[in-house]
Amino acid sequence: MAIYLDHAATTPMTPEVLAAYTSALSVVGNPSSIHSQGQAARRMLEDARHTIAAALGADAVELTFTSGGTEAINLAIKGLYWARAPRRRILSTRAEHHATIDALEWLERHEGAVVEWIPVDGFGRIDLVALEAALDGDVALVTTLQANNEVGTLQPVERIVELAAAHGVPVHVDAVSAFGSVPVDFAGSGAAALSVSAHKIGGPVGVGALVIARGATVTPLLHGGNQQRARSGTLDAAGAHAFAVATAALPGPDLRALRDRLIAGVVAAVPDAVLRGDPVDRLPGNAHFTFPGCDGDSLLFLLDSAGFSVSTGSACQAGVPEASHVLLAMGVDERGARGALRFTLGHESSEAEVDALLAALPGAVERARAAGLA
């Protein structure tokens, strides 16, 4: 059986969440229907909304269910941009998830947006001096990760929001990788919108949420029913219920000690491996390395053959033969960026699994380097 060390891509449902999801799927009724069965589905949905909103530090009325993190991010970015017309400028970084970068580039091509890319440092953290210099009242929005999905670095969200608020600029926070791993406090952050996804915390794929502050305005992407404040469409009550059950189980185990064991073990096993991302202010389950002389895809396949599931970066880019855009934004050259591997831990991870990986890693690196020289 393979050892799963790719929880940043998706985290398996626990038996409790799976049982709750399966049971909820048997509930018949459209939550918008006014008969008793429809209202039973509505109660299940609204109970889930309250549970998830509370965990995010938000009011239930502020939470809009979506089909996942990508839709939540698109709704936030495009919706805030359209609502802020005629302002055209958007501030972000090249180290964001592709859901953000691709949405911003689409707005440039089709909607006249002017995207200004704020630099990041060698850890992937936004340059606050450059951000402050770029901000003024003509900026439509700022969009930022709370935690980088590849290298794990935590962003100074509160400071970003503070700088933007001085100019009346709303901030969207992509908390998809952060929620379930580090505290998320929507009200405390002062952000205008915040995106999360169920399957990153052990819920089902296909369910996410966008939290929209009471005072923020977001133009909907979807029309046709007005089932929610910023989104039309029949709601997935069962998915929302399973999302809430996964949320109620948070926080999971503290993974920092196991992560540090993994990081120390990789450095000992492969001394020239380079840890990427902030060594301290990072996601507790994230260990991201580049291995000089290796192709990350080759190393991934060698480890997969040995029974380990890891990744080279975002699952959304898996199979695309290009260097990580996050590492390039951090100043890593293309050759170095191609040697990346991301190990991410979850509620099922154990010391025995980490130790097994560490035993297999040196041989895989040796073979990957030999293949690169062939």
Mean pLDDT by groups of 10 residues along the chain of 374 residues? 94 97 96 96 98 98 98 98 98 98 98 98 98 97 98 98 98 98 98 98 98 97 94 97 98 96 98 98 98 95 97 63 91 95 96 98 96 66
Q: Are residues 202 and 349 in the same domain?
A: no
Q: Are residues 269 and 207 in the same domain?
A: no
**Considering 248, 277, 309, which residue would you say is the last residue of a domain?**
248
Residues in the chain: 374
Q: Are residues 291 and 147 in the same domain?
A: no
Q: Are residues 261 and 192 in the same domain?
A: no
- Structurally, how many domains does the chain consist of? 2
Q: What is the pLDDT of residue 321?
A: 62
Residue 281 lies in domain: 3-11+252-373
Q: Are residues 328 and 220 in the same domain?
A: no
Q: Are residues 267 and 203 in the same domain?
A: no
At residue 219, the 3 state secondary structure works out as coil
Cβ atoms within 10 Å of 123's Cβ, excluding its own:
19
Average pLDDT, whole number, for the chain? Answer: 96
Phi-psi region of 201 (alpha: psi -120 to 50; beta: other; left: phi over 0): alpha
Q: Are residues 277 and 353 in the same domain?
A: yes
CATH number at residue 27: 3.40.640.10
Q: What is the pLDDT of residue 371?
A: 84
Q: Are residues 84 and 180 in the same domain?
A: yes
**Considering 248, 269, 303, which residue would you say is the last residue of a domain?**
248
Q: Which residues contact 319 (CB under 8 A, 6 or more apart)?
A: none
At residue 340, the 3 state secondary structure works out as strand
Establish whether the linkage from the previous residue to 220 is cis, with ω within 30° of 0: no
Nearest to 374 by CA among 298, 303, 321, 320: 298
Q: Are residues 262 and 185 in the same domain?
A: no
Q: What is the pLDDT of residue 298?
A: 95
> Strands across the sheet with 340-344, in order?
274-276, 286-290, 340-344
Q: Are residues 184 and 298 in the same domain?
A: no
Q: What is the pLDDT of residue 374?
A: 46
Q: What is the pLDDT of residue 314?
A: 58
Q: What is the pLDDT of residue 161?
A: 98
**DSSP assignment letter at 317:** G
**Considering 248, 278, 294, which residue would you say is the last residue of a domain?**
248
Q: Are residues 222 and 276 in the same domain?
A: no
Catalytic center residues: 316
Q: What is the pLDDT of residue 187?
A: 98
Q: State pTM to two decimals.
A: 0.96
Taking the C-alpha atoms of residue 374 and residue 372, their distance in angstroms, rounded to an integer, is 6
